[in-house]
Structure 1
């Protein structure tokens, strides 16, 4: 599943005739590979990191809101929340008004994990690179 590291030089189009959608697919593949490599180092998967990042930015919210804002399938979100809860990174409580809904809250352990992972950069990432934009409640960068 994991290939050799992809460097920016490997993403050059095959010529001026390469379609933009193909170039974006190549870039997407490089981003996924870099994220997977980072996940192996930190022990926190990409989806788990996104959930922790959103909870750290906006506070407690429902699994449904997390799923919608992060564009993660609801069934995948359940698995991510299960794994984060088992690791002690989040707690889930049932909504007293709607018993089908869960409120997800980041724990101190989860906050520490998120902060540590956010500070860690892949070895081939330039040291002065700007951090990713922070999420707002609507998912738009600030």
Structure 2
């Protein structure tokens, strides 16, 4: 592996290991010198959920997108993630997908939570001291 490729590989692995990510979906074409599978192996020691989609393996871009959506839902939109990151997440919406709650019930829960927050209740990220600012700007 050349020095440039080695630096790129280490950088991508460290990005994937970032503690702010609950899970990582690695997407690759399948013809890279540093394969998506190698990247996933490098991220796994962080003990987060890691899934891989390789476009050539799926057969075409549309199938890869469908597989990526499926795997992304497994990583982020499920009760495992909620229970694993309970101290960071205020509401588990996966209950609707799992069928343990209907959409109306969960919608009411979210609405009531919004009212509580608007009335001064702190959300978990605030309680934990996360105060990262987020803004969207246009780059010209």
Pick the TM interval, shorter chain.
0.3 to 0.5
Structure 1 or 2, whichever has the larger Rg, is 2
TM-score by length of 2: 0.35
Larger relative contact order (CA 8 Å, sep ≥ 6): 1
TM-score by length of 1: 0.35
